[in-house]
Structure 1
């Protein structure tokens, strides 16, 4: 078995762990659900409240806050999304932005009656599309995927036709960690005249993304996982440049108006990505993104991905050595090219194990019916920390048996 201290000694990103606030947690293995806070985040929040909010008050809007949804969106696009300026905004929650883009997409294909989605996609995405289908009298075409893998291009090709308006999947599957072939699926969808909407929530900040290069039409994602934006931090939306003038999002609010402060009659959308906005931007909740984008830009997404692959490979090595003999199954791709940042382990009874792990300071998470997700965050998790957490899973399972 590989020595975790040797892996840590050889880790070029090891020093980044010192940028996170220390806690008494023994092993944090849920970075794919909620990232740790940075020391710089605490400093920025204090500075913002004391100086910008208290000091500038309403003047802060004209200083810079008004532009944050766009300027932060551009920066996120450049550092983590492979998106040129003017296509990304920070606003709302993932659910709200997903609704906006999905509704805009099907409205832009008014004579098409179908939406493609897989049955194991994240619940929000499925629920929102169910609601839109009911609103618009559309048909959802459900694709059944391998629960240990995820959506394959061939599965899309088998069911798509010229009546499909929208194709929507997750870049990284929330259960298995399957990394979809975005470019190939986009090509299939576009050949049929459909638009694509990708959920990047489980990939952004851990996996390199090239939205422009892959020909993605629309994308959304959260910022509280690998981007460490904090609980409920605002989401982001991407609309390909040439679609911005064509699509019209359905939640018409004053911030998305072409002249917000005229407050006149009738809605006229702002040009470009600003037209994706609705209500007052969550400025305070955007502050942590400044710190994390600085860190991510410094580390480089390519190096982050390499560390992520090494961490997930080590998790699989430990699982094979310690847990598979105890009846645990691996429910994630073995191929690192098809695996995102987390690994899922399966065994009936894992739900009862979770509380005992948490009591001892080891924090993975659980997904029904019997999946324990191991999600080490590349910039905050050491190999020793991963080893420690997995060893407690082994010890508790051994006692149970």
Structure 2
């Protein structure tokens, strides 16, 4: 799907006067940004059409042109298949002249597309995937990890849960890169916080029946069942855990990646009291409420952290193109790294040498039904965790770009 958004007026303000810039500074007269999303499968609700809408909003708000050239949004459904993600990224860069890919939903597909972007020397950014290896072993000079990662999710949620007495864990893990990284990172935090890990079980992506996995979790005797999965897998596991009576048996569910879409879909009764970590919530302040209201008017639902992150990423990229005076990869990446991210999504965010965009993360508790004042009034903030405390420190990085 392609959308070209043209402005009727010149772009000014922070990013300079676009109309005064010659279009020849843009490689082929068009700035094309691509999004490899899950439009039809397990992560469609938390990325998919919502992320596409956020991207188009960002381009429209920017004015539709940059440096006198139109901005084109290109979207593809990778069907959660790494080979399709890699082939699409290669075709976009080689044939379709896409300048940057600014999201790839899911970790396995993101890692595949990241390899192509590195080889083609094109900018790639991630809001949907969480695998921390994107800024570790798989880091590159052209990649940015924007919204969240498994280290931050595990670090914030697992620490808080152990402090509340949940000191023995069993993990129900999605059997691919994201799930593996999330289980590993959460296990390390649990042990470092004085807790123990009783075991784990790995479930295939898009599993419809978690009964055998939940029986193993019950049999482990662990106080906490950590859900190292996302999207439809998370909501299915929570529903079936309620049917199996895990809570009545004294076990607590810890959703290590729970989106607002998931809580809204499940309702407050089965999720009340759950601790979760997010990089964004629509009701944080006036700026988040104003943007989220516009998103809701377009999509009929409130945005999650990945979808809001797409808007932030696109805006930062386009500002960098305007400031650099070109869509050249090196020039744009230099400006993106040097310029703080300061918008409704992140205040004073910064892109580190490993590609991690460091920003505050938030620990939330899901409200009880009687505490909610509306359909999307779902969270209460427990804590704000500064980015340098939430994300993996550079001293622990496995990224070859980081100077030791």
TM-score, length-normalised on structure 2? 0.35
Q: Which has the higher helix share?
A: 1
The structure showing larger relative contact order (alpha-carbon pairs under 8 Å, at least 6 residues apart) is 1
Larger radius of gyration: 1
